[in-house]
Structure 1
Amino acid sequence: MKEVLVENGQEKLEMSGSVNRVDEDVIDLGEYWRTIMRAKWLIVIIALSCVLAGVLSIKKMTPMYKASVRILADPQKPTTNLEPANLTPNLVSLFYQTQYELITSRKIAESVVEKLDMVELYRNQQRSTDQKEEDKTIFDFLFSSNSDSSKDYSDEDLVIYLAKRIQQSLEVSGGRQSQIINLTYQSKDPEEAALIANAISESYIQYGLSSRQGEVQDTENWLVEQSRVLKSALQESEQKLSQYRIQEGLVDTTQQQNLVNSQLQSLNSELINAQTRLSEIEEQYFALEKAKSNPEELYSSGPVLQNGSANSLVIEQGRLLQRVNELFERYGEKHPNMIAARSELKSVTENLAIEVNKVVENIQKEYRLAQVQVSNIQKLIKGTKDDVQSAQEKNYSLISLEREVENNRRIYDNFQVSLLESNVIRNYSASNIHIIDKASIPKLPFQPNPKLILMISLSFGLLLGIALAFLREAMDNTFKTPDDVEQKLPLTVLGITPSLIKKVGAPELQYITDSLTPFAENINTIRTGLVFSNTDNPPKTILVTSANSNEGKSTLAINLATAFSHLGRTLLLEVDLRKPSIAKSFSSNKKLGLTDVLSGSSIFDEANHLIKNEGNLSVLASGGMVRNPIDLLSSNKFEEVLQDFKLHYDYIILDGPPTLPVSDSCILANKVDGVIFAVKSQYTKVKVAKEAVSRLSNLNANLIGAVLTVADSKKMRNYGEHFYSDEYYGERPTRV
């Protein structure tokens, strides 16, 4: 039967382990809240401490004031050019980054120091401080936060020192999404904050104007100097060109080129006209040459017909020829009219031949003249081109000198234009930086911020308190509730013994004093669990033990024996022979006990102590101290006495020693029907209890269950609402 119980215990351990793994996978927010509520006073104390620290820090902080100036900064510099320049986003970003560095530069800070005469103000302040320091105590010097290291500075070093302080208190922002730059200055004095903020903005704008005018002045000086050099070079090149022209007898190459171009253009026009005329006459010439063999064709040619005399003679010849033909038909050849007509026709024909010959000769003359004219013009063109080529070969030096003069003049003119523009820009005093809002004197400090500091302090305190609560919970390796016992030990929890206040009386005698209390009801619950742990064969001999001493096992044994005495004859047997306590609990004067019975020096009736008002409860204390308790408890005599007790009592409750310090309980565990393991709430360590249970289990002890002793019901409610009430259920009977 003991082997079966051990196997059941191992199965319970495996089942509890699997349940724990399932529970670990589920996040129980209620458990977190209960952990916080268990440490609520710790959290409140830490939070209040942090708030108090925040209040003290606020009291010690020096109020700081902040004054701000809003500045409009245009990336495009003012210029006389009406067309705006195109700036890329990278250039705009670089511009504002440069402005930030410029505003926070030491140059601007030093100009503010000089502008406000801060060196003299600082000297005056130091003199007044020296007078006040004469009245200071040693504590004022020890706890003073002001440094006097700047007392012995020279004016130059003091300017640098004050400029660094201005730089440290200056903040610049903005210019990312707009052209507005926010300039903020912090100071202990509100008037000083506004004054320095405005001075920084004005110095920044003035520095920009001065820098730009300085650049313009430097550029203008350079342009003037270069203009002098260029003018001298231009005059020198012009003098060389003039001397060369006089020496070579040349004119301007441009004029010469224009003259030659005009001549060539005129000759080309004349050549075209001459060639056209030659083409026309040539056509007439070849037409007449072709018609010489045929007089009729010759007389009907264009040049002949165009000649007035020849044309009249051709007409007259035609008329006379028609008349001769008519007279021939009418009169014949011999008729005088016929003869006269033929004579007249002959005369006209001869005159016509003479005129035609004149026309042909004129055409021939015009043709030859046109040829000569074309040839002459071509010769003139060729001669002109040859002259130009010759002039170009001779004028290379002239052209080079003229080009040099032209280049020098162009450069000089450009510099003169730039110099004029520089004069205009120097007189143009517009700025691309403008103050939109000047700094006003702040009314309230921005540091310290009491609300923010207190909120941060409270939040930090709450978080720290909660963290410490969870840390304490994680480091607390004790049993707090019956659930803890069942989860961490392979034992069934039979019940608890509640903690009691001192005015109630000794906890060992609570059940005897009053059986109608929550404490007594919990003892009855444990008794019921023991009776029904094995319905077929309920345990008669029950050993009560624990891992270490002071864990409530004797209190549990005494009250449990009292509860069993209501069911039958019960013996409370003290087997803790090393550190007995039962006789003291019952205030018994008997010095005899178990050791005396086992040694044979006394009989049971002499050592037995019958409890008044509890007629079925007998108590046998440990008796006198022995040298080797373990030998006595493992002897056959003890087994015989225990068997004899079983014959006379229905229940025997053994108050045993702790398991870990001595091995007495391990010997006794195999001599009884069952073992109850006492675990003190918030005292017994888990590893210690596991070690004790493991020792008993390895010896095949019948561990019936565990009892959580000295359990505070109010504290257990913080671990779950299902834990116990400390109120008695029912009405007390009236005693007659």
Structure 2
Amino acid sequence: MRQAVFNEALSGFDAVARIWRRRGVFAIVAGAVLALAVIAFVVLPVRYLATASVIIAEQEPGANTSAAWAQKIGDPADMESQLLVIRSPRLLRQIMSSPGVVDAVVGECERGRLLGSAEACQRLKTDVGAFIDHVEGRFSVASAGRSRVINISYQSSSPEAAQTLANALTQTFLEDQRTEGANSREVASSWLWQELKQLDQQLREADDKIQKFRRTKGLMRGANAPISSERLTSIGQQLSQAEAARADAAARLQEIKSEQERGPTDAPSVLQSRTIADLKQQLTMVSAQLASAAGVLGPKHPSILALTREQTIIQQRLVDEMQSIAASAQKTFDANTALVNSLKKQMDTAKAEAGSATLDEASIESMVRDTEIKRQQYAELYKKASDLETERRVLRGSTRLVSLAELPSRPFFPKKIPFLAAGVTLAIIFGVGAALLADQFGSPAIKPSATFGPPQPAPPPVVAPAVRDEIAPDIDDAPASVPDLPEQAEQPTVSDEPPAPPERRSHLPSVADVSILACLPRLKTLRQMSALGAILQGHQPLAIPQLLRLASEDGEFQHTLHDLVQELGLDRAARPQRIAVTSPESGDGKTATLCALAEHLTAAGSRVLLVECDLAHPAFAQVMALPPDRGWLRALEHGALPREEVLTTEHPHLDVLPIGEATGSVGDILEAINLDTLLSGLGDYDVILVDTPLPARDDFLAGIDWAIVCVRSDRSLIEPAVATVNKSRSLGAAGVGIVVTMAEAEPRSTSVGHVQTVAVYAEAG
């Protein structure tokens, strides 16, 4: 069993033992409380409770289910509003007029009167305020679970008065609901009929205005659209056809003219002419005859001359025919051009008319749309007015009676079993409290620490053999009590070689052959708070600025930091010390321990530089309000020196080198550098504290004097801490130590308390 569970079990048995020691006090107090409960049960007056029930938000007959009713059914807000209406003084004032109510209240007052005159009860008949004050506290109005049923109850010493008052308020509420519903519907119906009359007059005027506008503007419609629109469409179609014909004629004309310049050819527009085809055939035949005759006859022969003249005549006829075709194409082009121009003029005129007609149609459409909206509104209002009139005539109300109050036969208060159960419970509670108080203040136990004289040595902690051999081998050798004696600082000797890390003489045990340098106590706020706040405060992490403020005010914490400085040998170091602070997991207090140690050193006059190397969880910029773009990442990216990014703080002895932000991709920068390279040339400081995780680079901690591994005291396993210690050694750290954080505070009278705290942490693994 773990130590915390064992201590908790012992504390529970101790409480039982203390009660048993004071069992006489427990019996006396519990018997007295139980006797008082029995006396109260007999003496207290008997009260009766009568309950009537109503159900609300039911759909009314003759009314259609609307969104308002759907939202109203089961709405908690509507239920609460009905409860407030029932409790209102207005309804309590109205029940005075119900038959038998005032007499029942006066009789109840006289029956329960112990002191005073009877005039106070008789005044209830005439004084409305006194009547309301008397009955208001006795009424109980509440909903029945998650239903829509409301229970109206009245408590009284007289069962008849309880029944009468409960039924009177129920009937008054139902009648008030019916009256209010009918009046509201009558008012709404009158307003709707007045609005309908105004809408009817507006619709008639709008229809007359639309007809007059159509007659004035001459707006007539064709088969599918207004006449102006149909005319514009027809002219547009004609214009498209004319432009197509003109383009075709222009193409033919251009083709003929280009062929005329080059001479006769086989152009398509020329070949389409039958005359051209015949002439070309004749020309071919004459050319063939001329060629045949030229081979036999001479050039002066009459046949040759005749054929030549005939060939010339045919060619001239071809040219004339082509010119005739060109003239015909020119005329066709001119005619189409004239038609296109005429249609364009008609198109412009039609566009102007159509544009004017479009504006007029838009005005007409707007008026028609407004009229249609009014018609729809008229129809809806007429339907609502008819429904309201129907509902007003058949209204029963949205609230319905479930049951009236019956005459109660059994008393509501006090009830035997619940009253006695409460008495027994209170008797046990007061008896236990009295026994504990009597044991606390009657004979307090004498503790050894309260005796005068020199402190007695405490027994050594009990540790399992396996844990003693493997984890804490030097616990057996630790002294039982180490008095707080002032240490005499040794004068450092100056030599050419750097001194080795100072030998540790800590009274704390070791883990994996590594010293536990200090146990930093858990910091808690000192402000006043409730018991629940004090419990929750122990489970909520403190922000680092708040933690540092509490650490500066905590004397035990500062004393532990002083011991840590002595364990590290920082108070007698002959050269600047480099200390890397790491942890197995996040949340172990690495950054908080670093900052607290830095403040402690600067308060002692040492010049300290804080270096941030935790790329995954950077915190310096937020904690110390530093510029986010300053840091050694930017220096490496721009090829500058890291010392140029060192920032000063409000404390004259404390400087900071944050990570900063890089504009490019820096990759895994810790795998590419070691701390010795990064820290070289940063300036003249007494101590350089580095907040860093442990990468895989073999020489990452080369040049580091101490590697401090921060481990929380409530970690259940010690293996991560051992792995981090071994890794720190393998990375080249000269000295490795463990600092246990968030430990429960122990008195500093002896060193055994510290050993026990760390031993419990070692046993957790």
TM-score range, shorter chain: 0.3 to 0.5
Return the structure number with greater helix share.
1
Relative to the length of structure 1, the TM-score reads 0.44
Larger RCO (CA under 8 A, 6+ residues apart): 1
Relative to the length of structure 2, the TM-score reads 0.43
